[in-house]
Chains A and B, each alone.
Chain A
Amino acid sequence: MKEFLIGRLSMEALPHEWFTIGGSAFFGALILALVVILTVTKRWGWLWKEWLTSVDPKKIGIMYFIVAGFMLIARGGLEALMMWLQQALGSSDMPGFLGASHGYLSAEHFQQIFTAHGNIMVFFVAMGFIFGLINYIVPLQIGARDLASPFLNTLGFWLFVAGVVMVNMFFFVGGEYAATGWLAVAPLSGTEFSPGTGMDYLIWSLQISGIGTTLGAINFIMTILKMRAPGMTLWKMPAFTWGSLCSMIMAVTVFPLLTATLFLVFFDRYFDTHFFTTALGGNAMMYTNLIWMWGHPEVYILVLPAYGVFTEIVSTFSRKAIANYTSNIIGLIGVSLFALSVWLHHFFTMGAGADVNSFFGVMTIFIAIPTTVLVFTWIATMYKGRIRMTTPMLWFLGFIAVFTFGGVTGVMLAVPPVDFQFHNSLFLVAHFHSNVIGGVLFGVFAGISYWFPKIAGYRLNERLGRYAFWCWMIGFSLSFIPMYILGLMGATRRLDTYDASSGWQPFYVLMLIGGIIIAVGVALQLAQIIASVIQKRRLHDSTGDPWEGRTLEWAVPSPAPSYNFATIPQVTTRDAYWEMKKQGIPARKFEDIRMPKNTASGIYISIFAFLVGFALVWHINWLAIVSLIGAIVCVIARTFNDDTEYVVTAAEVEKMEETRMAKVRALHAEKDTGPDEDMGLLEFIKLVITWALNVIRTRRWRNQ
């Protein structure tokens, strides 16, 4: 009876290790703090109406940023630091603490950490940031008011959140995460070798957020193909929109492969099927084949929008249109096409033989060609341009340095006999981190600093931004160049301890120092945001176009109103806004605007989806079935609901525009008596300390 009611849940599932107790205490305290703050400031209604049930892609974009940023710092980044620390301490002549033979993390725990680090960084940090950028910026760039399906947008976001909750759930219930590596290779991922619930949490967090990603990708494709402003043909779209389109078409192509493969792994574990088992005819190599068919295009899904971001930034800060737009776009398309034909390079060593290996090796090398085309168009754009070295431009230069390193080591690895030496070594780890950090993460940082004025209405503090960038560059170099060398020396990945006689420890210590410098960089980025908020009057963007941009998103005020454009612009050329500025912005005729209503159905469906996953992890069959029915009922309720829009009349639009213009004029008229330049680091630290002391002295919290 008990087994029927609560499946395999038991008292042992509750936290009893130092990290599960620590983790659940941390998250618990965080949730408690949020609840207290919301209650005391009476903002529950505001939160629900303005943010959680919002279908505005701008709000959803910001929510993606917040969740992704939180996962970067609290989980992914922290796990990286933990691993760096363990590897610096993990030499065989060092003592062991907390159950570890050397260092402080036991082998089992270390395995869970690198698994979680990979899952979280790829699925929740990188995908989260990318989806946030696309959500916010693409509708503005194409002159649209919203995405094609506001409901799918919010549903996709909340499914993503359900995945985030699922990947953190083991802290509270379960006590362990998968220890299989981020892609959970069979047969290690089967019940025989991973009998615990950790692997099931991996399956369901990836599965639920993966479905959210697929729905989101369909939405973005519908939007870009069907909702562009009149006159904006495909070849007049901005580069970031092109990058997003290529990325989302790839997402729609390969995420179903992941969904199907994860279902097969789930069946092996739940229904005892034999797809990837060692016995009764299963073929574990088929899992590796299928998962990398998804896995390789995934990294291109992440990097293509970043390429688009960089094209925009290079163009704007060189004060030139993109040199050879056609080549740039063909480069993006070329990368997408090739990306679908190279997946075997992740398992050259699995034994497919020379025929197969050489085909995929050649195809992998080919990808360097369209990528190089992209780099040359960027260089050509900068040539004879008037370059402004702002923070976004710094991130671009950092990207060129780091990503090129990753790219050329990638071409090395593409040669099968060379890969036989480097497979699963630290050389490989350094290669892909160069590409993912240098490409995707730097692209996200560049995009955020570039578009922050549009999002917030004031730009970011440039000084702290520069300091943060250099911390990242120095930290990254210190952390990953020794890693390349270690890989060349024969160090393999995923090692928690190693022999002292190998001479590797100094390198690991260097890597740890580099990691700490990166952490300082992240702290500076947070400081940058806070300092910008403090100085927002000074940094305020009154025109909506602080960088002298070329594309349509700069035509709307900062921050954009909920309907984006009061009147949809007519587009005649590429770099539509640049053209509008040249010709003079036409007089506006206001019209009625249909806007979608907020909806909570995304939240409800995701709660049910989470419950289905949770129930299946713990084999609580009745709960799985009931939650599935609940989700279906919610879907039916939403899709048969015909009343999902409201109208903002032309008069109301005119009034809103007037009010906003008045505010801008008033802000302009105010005398700015503040400092002449952006706050520096010392000043920021002084400010924070003063504020903290003030709060303590006046005991301000007593008055709340």
Chain B
Amino acid sequence: MGVERYKDKTMAESVATSEMNHEAAANDRVMFGFWVYLMTDLLMFAVLFAVYAVLHGNTEGGPGGSDLFSQPLALAETLILLTSSFTCGIGMIAARRGNKNQVLVWFGITFLLGLAFLSLELQEFAEFIREGHALSSNAFFSSFFVLVGTHGLHIISGLFWMFVTLVFVLVRGLNRHLVRKLALLSLFWHFLDIVWIFIFTIVYLMAYV
């Protein structure tokens, strides 16, 4: 096209971008915008991590992480979530190939693994609560429950989003809008696993260092 007439490489790029068709340009914008949103979500988690770092020692004489956390449980949760991130990626490849059944299978597995993760986490919370430790017990528990709980709430939102999208895939078939939705969802899901790496390290592993 007329791109060659621009000696300046950046000029050529900006012309090329505008020559992308409307669809691809819109897709590109949405993916980028969602990425920026994920960065803001990461920053919210940064505050929660900072608060945990400052307050986790304030157990007011009560038990701390090393007394309560089960390392095998944390490892199990980590492996489950990691696997779900992997199956999500495979599902995305199927989506870009237009393979509706594979999408349902792989995202279905992701969904079940997510549920498994959630149930393990809820079990852990339930046990702490049964032992009499709550959000309001002291600063350590407040920061623990809010940090890990916020991640859990994100997982719940992701599962809900996954469920709604898969229903639409089932009903409407795999069209390009739904492929884009799945792309955004898998960005979200991978990002949640990355946040979990740090929760695993900073909350569960560091308690025993």
Question: Do A and B share a direct contact in the complex (Cβ within 8 angstroms)?
Answer: yes
**Which residues from chain A sit less than 8 Å from chain B, CB to CB?**
148-149, 152, 214, 218-219, 221-222, 225-234, 252-257, 259-261, 264, 267, 271-275, 280-283, 286, 290, 568, 572, 594, 636, 639-640, 642
Distance A417 CA – B55 CA, assembled complex (angstroms): 30
Of the A-B pairs whose beta carbons lie under 8 Å apart in the complex, a sample of 29, sorted by A's number, is: A149-B29, A214-B40, A222-B29, A226-B29, A228-B14, A230-B14, A230-B17, A231-B6, A231-B15, A233-B11, A252-B39, A257-B44, A257-B47, A260-B48, A267-B135, A271-B135, A271-B136, A280-B58, A280-B60, A281-B55, A281-B140, A282-B58, A283-B58, A290-B47, A290-B50, A594-B22, A640-B164, A642-B175, A642-B177
Looking at the assembled complex, report how far the CB atom of A86 sits from the nearest CB atom of chain B, in whole angstroms. Answer: 37
Q: Which of A233, A253, A257, A640 contacts B14 (CB 8 A)?
A: A233
The residues of B that contact A642 with a CB separation of less than 8 Å are 175, 177
The yes or no answer to B84 lying at the interface (CB within 8 A) is no
The yes or no answer to B59 lying at the interface (CB within 8 A) is yes
Given contacts A253-B43, A273-B146, A274-B138, 4 further A-B contacts (CB under 8 A): A222-B33, A230-B15, A267-B146, A640-B168
Distance A671 CA – B140 CA, assembled complex (angstroms): 78
Contact with A along B169-196 (1 / 0, CB 8 A): 0000001010001000000000000000
- What bracket does the count of chain B residues touching chain A fall in? 35 or more
Distance A233 CA – B36 CA, assembled complex (angstroms): 21
Distance A568 CA – B177 CA, assembled complex (angstroms): 27
Is the beta-carbon distance between B18 and A252 smaller than 8 angstroms? Answer: no
With A219-B33, A640-B168 known to touch, is A274 a contact of B25 (CB < 8 Å)?
Answer: no
Looking at the assembled complex, report how far the CB atom of A211 sits from the nearest CB atom of chain B, in whole angstroms. Answer: 10
The yes or no answer to B28 lying at the interface (CB within 8 A) is yes
For B161, give the chain A residue with the smallest CB separation.
A636
The yes or no answer to B37 lying at the interface (CB within 8 A) is yes
The yes or no answer to B54 lying at the interface (CB within 8 A) is yes
Q: Which of A218, A226, A256 contacts B25 (CB 8 A)?
A: A226
Is the beta-carbon distance between A256 and B29 smaller than 8 angstroms? Answer: no
Is the beta-carbon distance between A286 and B136 smaller than 8 angstroms? Answer: no
Distance A282 CA – B8 CA, assembled complex (angstroms): 57
Distance A538 CA – B32 CA, assembled complex (angstroms): 46
With A267-B146, A286-B54 known to touch, is A273 a contact of B40 (CB < 8 Å)?
Answer: no
Looking at the assembled complex, report how far the CB atom of A203 sits from the nearest CB atom of chain B, in whole angstroms. Answer: 15
Is the beta-carbon distance between A274 and B14 smaller than 8 angstroms? Answer: no
The yes or no answer to B41 lying at the interface (CB within 8 A) is yes
Is the beta-carbon distance between B146 and A221 smaller than 8 angstroms? Answer: no
Contact with A along B52-79 (1 / 0, CB 8 A): 0011001110000000000000000000
Select the residue from A274, A286, A639 with max chain B CB neighbours within 10 A.
Answer: A274
For B19, give the chain A residue with the smallest CB separation.
A230
Q: Which of B22, B30, B37, B51 contacts A275 (CB 8 A)?
A: B51
With A218-B37, A259-B44, A260-B48 known to touch, is A281 a contact of B14 (CB < 8 Å)?
Answer: no
Q: Which of B10, B33, B59, B146 contacts A264 (CB 8 A)?
A: B146
The yes or no answer to B207 lying at the interface (CB within 8 A) is no
The residues of A that contact B36 with a CB separation of less than 8 Å are 218, 221-222, 252
The residues of B that contact A218 with a CB separation of less than 8 Å are 33, 36-37, 40
The residues of A that contact B110 with a CB separation of less than 8 Å are none
The yes or no answer to B139 lying at the interface (CB within 8 A) is yes
The residues of A that contact B10 with a CB separation of less than 8 Å are 233-234
Q: Which of A219, A230, A273 contacts B135 (CB 8 A)?
A: A273
Looking at the assembled complex, report how far the CB atom of B54 sits from the nearest CB atom of chain A, in whole angstroms. Answer: 5
The yes or no answer to B87 lying at the interface (CB within 8 A) is no
The yes or no answer to B123 lying at the interface (CB within 8 A) is no
The yes or no answer to B119 lying at the interface (CB within 8 A) is no
The residues of A that contact B137 with a CB separation of less than 8 Å are 274, 280
The residues of B that contact A280 with a CB separation of less than 8 Å are 58, 60, 136-139
Which 5 residue pairs are nearest across A and B when measured between Cβ atoms? Answer: A281-B58, A281-B139, A273-B142, A260-B47, A272-B136
Is the beta-carbon distance between B43 and A226 smaller than 8 angstroms? Answer: no
Distance A267 CA – B146 CA, assembled complex (angstroms): 9
Distance A228 CA – B25 CA, assembled complex (angstroms): 12
Which residues of B, 118-171, contact A by the 8 Å Cβ criterion? 135-140, 142-143, 145-146, 164, 168
For B178, give the chain A residue with the smallest CB separation.
A640
Distance A252 CA – B35 CA, assembled complex (angstroms): 12
The residues of A that contact B28 with a CB separation of less than 8 Å are 226
Looking at the assembled complex, report how far the CB atom of A464 sits from the nearest CB atom of chain B, in whole angstroms. Answer: 42
Q: Which of A226, A228, A256, A636 contacts B44 (CB 8 A)?
A: A256
A-B contact count (CB 8 A): 130
The residues of B that contact A261 with a CB separation of less than 8 Å are 47
With A259-B44, A636-B164 known to touch, is A230 a contact of B18 (CB < 8 Å)?
Answer: yes
Is the beta-carbon distance between B11 and A231 smaller than 8 angstroms? Answer: yes
The residues of B that contact A283 with a CB separation of less than 8 Å are 54-55, 58, 139
Distance A642 CA – B40 CA, assembled complex (angstroms): 26
Distance A148 CA – B158 CA, assembled complex (angstroms): 24
Q: Which of A148, A229, A275 contacts B55 (CB 8 A)?
A: A275
The residues of A that contact B44 with a CB separation of less than 8 Å are 256-257, 259-260
The residues of A that contact B135 with a CB separation of less than 8 Å are 267, 271-273
The residues of B that contact A225 with a CB separation of less than 8 Å are 32
Is the beta-carbon distance between A255 and B18 smaller than 8 angstroms? Answer: no
Looking at the assembled complex, report how far the CB atom of A212 sits from the nearest CB atom of chain B, in whole angstroms. Answer: 13
Looking at the assembled complex, report how far the CB atom of B87 sits from the nearest CB atom of chain A, in whole angstroms. Answer: 24
Looking at the assembled complex, report how far the CB atom of A403 sits from the nearest CB atom of chain B, in whole angstroms. Answer: 30
The residues of A that contact B33 with a CB separation of less than 8 Å are 148-149, 152, 218-219, 221-222
Is the beta-carbon distance between A226 and B32 smaller than 8 angstroms? Answer: yes
Select the residue from B43, B45, B50 with max chain A CB neighbours within 10 A.
Answer: B43
Is the beta-carbon distance between B29 and A286 smaller than 8 angstroms? Answer: no
The residues of A that contact B181 with a CB separation of less than 8 Å are 639-640
Looking at the assembled complex, report how far the CB atom of A630 sits from the nearest CB atom of chain B, in whole angstroms. Answer: 15
Looking at the assembled complex, report how far the CB atom of B101 sits from the nearest CB atom of chain A, in whole angstroms. Answer: 21
The residues of B that contact A290 with a CB separation of less than 8 Å are 47, 50-51
The residues of B that contact A149 with a CB separation of less than 8 Å are 29-30, 33
Distance A269 CA – B22 CA, assembled complex (angstroms): 48
The residues of B that contact A594 with a CB separation of less than 8 Å are 22
Distance A657 CA – B165 CA, assembled complex (angstroms): 43
Looking at the assembled complex, report how far the CB atom of B193 sits from the nearest CB atom of chain A, in whole angstroms. Answer: 20
Distance A261 CA – B50 CA, assembled complex (angstroms): 11
Q: Which of B19, B29, B43, B164 contacts A227 (CB 8 A)?
A: B29
Distance A314 CA – B41 CA, assembled complex (angstroms): 39
For B48, give the chain A residue with the smallest CB separation.
A260
The residues of B that contact A221 with a CB separation of less than 8 Å are 33, 36
Distance A663 CA – B141 CA, assembled complex (angstroms): 69
Distance A286 CA – B43 CA, assembled complex (angstroms): 16
Distance A255 CA – B43 CA, assembled complex (angstroms): 9
The residues of A that contact B41 with a CB separation of less than 8 Å are 256
Is the beta-carbon distance between B51 and A286 smaller than 8 angstroms? Answer: yes
With A252-B36, A273-B136 known to touch, is A281 a contact of B59 (CB < 8 Å)?
Answer: yes
The residues of A that contact B6 with a CB separation of less than 8 Å are 231
Distance A231 CA – B8 CA, assembled complex (angstroms): 10
The residues of A that contact B11 with a CB separation of less than 8 Å are 231, 233, 572
For A261, give the chain B residue with the smallest CB separation.
B47
For B61, give the chain A residue with the smallest CB separation.
A281
Looking at the assembled complex, report how far the CB atom of B60 sits from the nearest CB atom of chain A, in whole angstroms. Answer: 5
